[in-house]
Amino acid sequence: MWAILCEVVQIPDITQTISDTAYLAYEKKLMKEVKQYPLPQHIAIIMDGNRRFAKELGLDPAEGHRMGRDKLEEVLGWCLDIGIRVLTVYAFSTENFMRSTAEVQLLIKLFEENFRKLGDDERVHKHGIKVRVLGRRNLLPDSLISAIEYAENRTKDYNNYFFNLAVAYGGRQEIIDAIREIARDVKEGKISVNDISEELVSSKLYTKDLPDPDLILRTSGEERISNFLLWQMAYSELYFVDVYWPGFRKIDLLRAIRAYQLRQRRFGK
């Protein structure tokens, strides 16, 4: 009733002001807390829930994907504020190609726009963010490959921060690609079977020059990994948040990091 009255007489909604103030105070408190402890070097995110978020608002699923795209830009900024050096996001899986043609085409179009935008983003160049795509890009249309290469080439010399987008990606497929490369090396006599080790396999993955993720976060309330970074996540901390990706807030990210900091990582010891 108060909100309706405020709208009718065009006066500020005090309750909303109080709510915003409380949120900002809580966010500031969380930020101060996480800064007091070692931060995860590498955070990986399974961005889930775009379509369900749109459905609950009575919107077309396409709007959910657009809001999800905008949210990713926000999250990149949050990671810079917090001091996270490596961010990897699950943007499009190999299984996603099985969705409707219209939805796949929309996502491809959004990806093309985003990679061109990343290549020209002043924030990317100011902070020295290297942009890279992980996945089987041979499955992608030439127009998207061109946009990916534009962003990658414009940021290839940066090494302050790393922003990785898994597109046409599957964890099992990544491991298979690594096995095939190792098998070719054995066949050609470059290495022997006894040379095969965890380090060798890691060196053949798409993430070969990146640290394994310290924290893997999934939105939407689903508690599964969905074929994401299967090799790399061996000792990652997992965190699931019951919020759809477009509704993900900075305090949700800060809470995930705080939970990570409170855990004791044993690495099997």
Query: In the sheet that 237-240 helps form, which strands lie side by side, from edge to edge?
Result: 129-134, 161-169, 86-93, 42-46, 215-218, 237-240
Q: Which of 13, 96, 177, 185 is catalytic?
A: 96
Task: Spell 45-60 as b/e; 16+ CB within 10 A means b.
Answer: bbbbbbbbbbeeeeee
Cα 238 to Cα 117, 127, 156, 228, 261: the distances in Å are: 31, 28, 30, 12, 12
DSSP of 182-210, one letter per residue?
HHHHHHTTSS-GGG--HHHHHHTSTTTTS
Q: Which of 13, 20, 48, 142 is catalytic?
A: 48
Distance CA 250, CA 191 (A): 47
Token pair, residue 141, equals: 């249309």
Distance CA 82, CA 34 (A): 8
- Catalytic annotation present for 48: yes
Token pair, residue 262, equals: 């409170």
Are 112 and 148 a contacting pair, CB within 8 Å? Answer: no
Active site residues: 48, 96
